[in-house]
């Protein structure tokens, strides 16, 4: 878990304050429904709330050191269980998907886990909760069940959940999350204490990216995320993939490896729509902009866009000090224009590689 407590969580401060007040007053409801748009820190808040409730040392501030808090770092807590939509394998939820999802959410609860196949909450999930709730929690612990994205429940699971809410087991708390409130049965909503989570603002989106060790996102990524942490990490991960392809594209262009270069171009063509290839070209422009800054000595690393690739940029700029960077920038701009006018993607990128290589070879 990246943030250690609701006190430290830099987002949804109003919601955290309400939850902390309920802990301080010892007025804990048997069922909560955290609702709001996708990617509004509902699951992160739910996990931290559960962590506070079972902290052995300081339930209000959450110590992060006791045995209960330690188990929450890997989401392997016997008294705090997380359920999320997965596919089925036979009559049961796929165990490999469950384990992969728990590992995913232990690292990043702001980014939704996507299992392969048809994801859903099945009635077996609720039956498992009912069965487990019969056993007493550990000393000074409360049984807490978090069910993420309950809008993915099928009818039988939703009806079973309703019965569980109507007759809640003793010393048990349910924390539900959903991003589509209209898909939830009114009778389920009426039996939960509901807490709304609004979207994150642009400053919070930037902070979230940096806190998870990404470079501060460009303005277009912030705007495309639109306050949605899940979409932010989708964009950032795609951004990382595209940047990795860019480095390979430039490497194979420089050393003249046409077969490997063809594989990179094929991967770009298969994996990304035209907009994704435009992003690839934009990143290439940013790369050569950074190279220009290093060659010319303008402000050095402090002005780099690709600040996390300083070593690669330094090697490139030291090897090719006489590049006509204006010419290369024009080549990239011409490629954008050609793609905008429906030129063949693979052929256009191949021609760009040849042109950049010719420019590099002619200016060593």
For residue 326, give its domain range.
219-362
Helix (H, G, I), strand (E, B) or coil at 117: coil
For residues 264 and 194, membership in a common domain is answered with no
For residues 189 and 95, membership in a common domain is answered with yes
| pLDDT tens, residue by residue, 50-90 | 999 999 999 999 999 999 999 999 999 999 999 999 987 76
pLDDT of residue 201: 97
Residue 5: inside a domain: no
pLDDT of residue 194: 98
The last residue of one of the domains, among 198, 227, 246, is 198
Q: Model's pTM, two decimal places?
A: 0.75
| pLDDT tens, residue by residue, 203-215 | 999 999 999 998 8
Number of domains in the chain: 2
| pLDDT tens, residue by residue, 292-324 | 989 888 656 667 877 778 889 999 988 888 888
For residues 192 and 63, membership in a common domain is answered with yes
Q: Give the least confident one: 52-56, 120-124, 219-223, 345-349.
A: 219-223
Residue 211: inside a domain: no
| pLDDT tens, residue by residue, 282-294 | 889 989 998 998 9
Q: What is the CATH number of the domain that holds 299?
A: 1.20.272
Cα dihedral value 219, 222, 226, 230, nearest 10: 160
Q: What is the CATH number of the domain that holds 25?
A: 3.40.50.300
Residue 190: inside a domain: yes
For residues 241 and 184, membership in a common domain is answered with no
For residues 193 and 253, membership in a common domain is answered with no
For residues 131 and 263, membership in a common domain is answered with no
How many C-beta neighbours within 10 Å does residue 307 have? 13
For residues 169 and 256, membership in a common domain is answered with no
For residues 168 and 38, membership in a common domain is answered with yes
For residues 151 and 226, membership in a common domain is answered with no
For residues 186 and 301, membership in a common domain is answered with no
- How confident is residue 272, by pLDDT bands cut at 50, 70 and 90? confident
| pLDDT at residue 21 greater than cutoff 60 | yes
What is the residue-wise DSSP string for 130-194? Answer: HHHHTSPPSTT--EEEEE--GGGB-HHHHHHHHHHHHSPPTTEEEEEEES-GGGS-HHHHHTSEE
For residues 187 and 248, membership in a common domain is answered with no
CA distance 308 to 283: 14
Residue 4: inside a domain: no
For residues 184 and 229, membership in a common domain is answered with no
Residue 119: inside a domain: yes
């Amino acid at each position: 878990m990246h943030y250690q407590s609701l006190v430290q969580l830099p987002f949804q401060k109003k919601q955290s304050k309400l939850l902390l007040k309920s802990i301080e007053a010892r007025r804990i409801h048997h069922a909560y429904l955290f609702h709001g748009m996708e990617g509004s820190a509902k699951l992160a808040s739910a996990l931290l709330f559960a962590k506070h409730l079972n902290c052995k040392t300081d339930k209000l501030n959450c110590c992060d050191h006791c045995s209960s808090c330690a188990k929450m770092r890997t989401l392997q807590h016997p008294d705090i269980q997380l359920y999320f939509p997965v596919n089925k394998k036979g009559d049961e939820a796929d165990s490999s998907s469950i384990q992969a999802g728990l590992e995913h959410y232990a690292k990043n609860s702001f980014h939704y886990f996507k299992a392969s196949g048809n994801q859903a909450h099945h009635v077996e999930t609720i039956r498992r909760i009912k069965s487990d709730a019969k056993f007493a929690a550990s000393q000074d612990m409360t049984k807490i069940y978090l069910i993420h994205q309950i809008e993915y429940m099928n009818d039988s699971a939703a009806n079973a959940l309703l019965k569980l809410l109507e007759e809640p087991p003793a010393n048990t708390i349910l924390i539900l999350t959903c991003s589509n409130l209209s898909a939830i049965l009114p009778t389920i909503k009426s039996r939960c204490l509901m807490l709304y989570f609004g979207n994150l603002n642009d400053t919070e989106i930037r902070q979230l990216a940096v806190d998870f060790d990404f470079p501060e996102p460009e303005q277009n990524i912030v705007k495309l995320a639109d306050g949605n942490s899940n979409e932010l990490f989708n964009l950032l991960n795609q951004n990382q993939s595209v940047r990795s392809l860019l480095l390979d594209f430039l490497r194979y262009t420089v050393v003249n490896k046409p077969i490997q270069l063809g594989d990179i171009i094929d991967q770009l063509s298969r994996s990304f729509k035209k907009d994704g290839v435009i992003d690839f070209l934009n990143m290439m422009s940013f790369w050569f902009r950074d190279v220009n800054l290093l060659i010319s000595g303008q402000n050095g690393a402090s002005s780099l866009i690709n600040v996390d690739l300083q070593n690669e940029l330094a090697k490139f700029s030291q090897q090719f000090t006489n590049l006509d960077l204006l010419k290369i920038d024009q080549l990239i701009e011409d490629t954008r224009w050609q793609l905008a006018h429906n030129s063949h993607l693979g052929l256009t990128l191949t021609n760009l590689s040849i042109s950049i290589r010719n420019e590099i070879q002619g200016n060593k």
